[in-house]
Structure 1
């Protein structure tokens, strides 16, 4: 007999249990929500507004977590994770999200990821309609990935990424330099990610030019429990784009993780991924009232 209770999320007491819950329910061949690093990466990033974390809610059956309603960034985008066999909780979780999760200028969006049909049905019943979506891409690591960088470029060694140089690369690679000005040299914030409980920054890598400057950075969260290589982030400095450097970086990640038993590596929705062999596998749909 189920004994369902709820509690509000507390980062100090609940994060490790929620992370384990997300590991437990995840299947790389049938996504039922986001993988665990999606949540932890947001929590340790400086771009996420953490002032609403107390609104996130956990559903438990006895001592076992069976459901989680949470936001990422922006705080008005709401996600769900649910253990198989507890689909009847979906309407209650959608109702909670609508009534209690944060809004931005009165607006809110439900984000359903992968096979979350119970939440789709609950959202429709509550008056939500689909307002867009896309398919994120995943690489099947049973296939070889063998792109090489141009001869003048090289990779950092395992565990050899310089945090400051990686931050500068990301500043430029995500076009902040063009939009906000030169990098100010501040990289202290990055150590929150480096020291995250499940961070595997030893598997992150950078591509260097002949002067040792980082021109591409590929972060990596290796999730051995799910045989999943979770790519986050990936960027290339503007003047080094369209040279095959990012494809070479992903190929090098593949080569390093293949002996560990990786089965799938995540990507994004950009057509770049499909050009190098990624497949559209995971639907993301957005729902609004």
Structure 2
């Protein structure tokens, strides 16, 4: 007999248990919810607002986590992680999101993955309707990924990257220079890479002859799921279109395959399909009618 209770997420004491829960329920297509590094990356990043994390909710059966409803970067969105066999709490999870995860203007977007059938039904029953979808791809390590690094560039020695150079590369690589130059604040990077399951030995950095980083591929190695969770990936504008990202992911593939990884995350752009990634994860977006 089930004895399901719920309680607010306490970020300082609950994170590790929620992480383990996400490891336990992981599927390659995210049919049970996001992988564990997705949450840790957000909670460790400066762009995510943690001040509302008490609005996230945990469901437990005799102390074992069976459900988690949460936002990633800010309220106004909701994600659902659900242990198979506990689909009956889906409606309660959607109700919680409606009440506690709406933003100050009353807006709420539900992020539901294809295969989360019980959550999808609960959302529809609550008056939400699907407004769009997005497909992300993965690279299956049963295939080969072997794009060469262009002449004049080199890989930074694994685990020896310079934090400031990495942050400058990401600032430029995500087109933030239009907002002004990077502010020189390195502690955001150190905070990210000292999170409990960060794997700073495995990111791939490409540098030019001057030693500036021109491409960066982050890695959150999750051995329990044989998952190479790649986040983020960027190339500075003046080096785009030269094959750097493909070379970086090829180097990542080589490093992670030797550790036992079976697949690597990516994104949904045509770039990924062009180098052999395959569609795997379908996001669907739901809002109130």
TM-score by length of 2: 0.97
SS of 2:85's equivalent in the other structure is coil
SS of 2:248's equivalent in the other structure is helix
SS of 1:203's equivalent in the other structure is coil
Structure 1 unpaired stretches of 5+: none
SS of 2:201's equivalent in the other structure is helix
Tell me, yes or no, if the aligned pair for 1:136 and 1:282 is still in contact at 8 Å: yes
CA shift, 1:114, in A, is 3.8
CA shift, 1:170, in A, is 0.4
Number of aligned residues: 288
Aligned to 1:285: 284
Matches within 5 A, 1:156-235: 156-177=156-177, 179-235=178-234
Tell me, yes or no, if the aligned pair for 2:29 and 2:281 is still in contact at 8 Å: no
CA shift, 1:102, in A, is 3.1
Q: Distance in 2 between matches of 1:244 and 1:107?
A: 40
Superposed structure 1 runs of 4+ greater than 3 Å apart: none
Q: Distance in 2 between matches of 1:211 and 1:114?
A: 46
Tell me, yes or no, if the aligned pair for 2:77 and 2:101 is still in contact at 8 Å: no
Aligned to 1:266: 265
Aligned to 1:86: 86
TM-score by length of 1: 0.97
CA shift, 1:104, in A, is 4.6
Aligned to 1:64: 64
Q: Distance in 1 between matches of 2:287 and 2:254?
A: 41
Q: Distance in 2 between matches of 1:74 and 1:7?
A: 20
Distance 1:207 1:90, change over 3 A: same
CA shift, 1:260, in A, is 1.0
SS of 2:187's equivalent in the other structure is coil
Aligned to 1:113: 113
Tell me, yes or no, if the aligned pair for 1:167 and 1:190 is still in contact at 8 Å: yes
Tell me, yes or no, if the aligned pair for 2:134 and 2:283 is still in contact at 8 Å: yes
Q: Distance in 2 between matches of 1:221 and 1:54?
A: 25
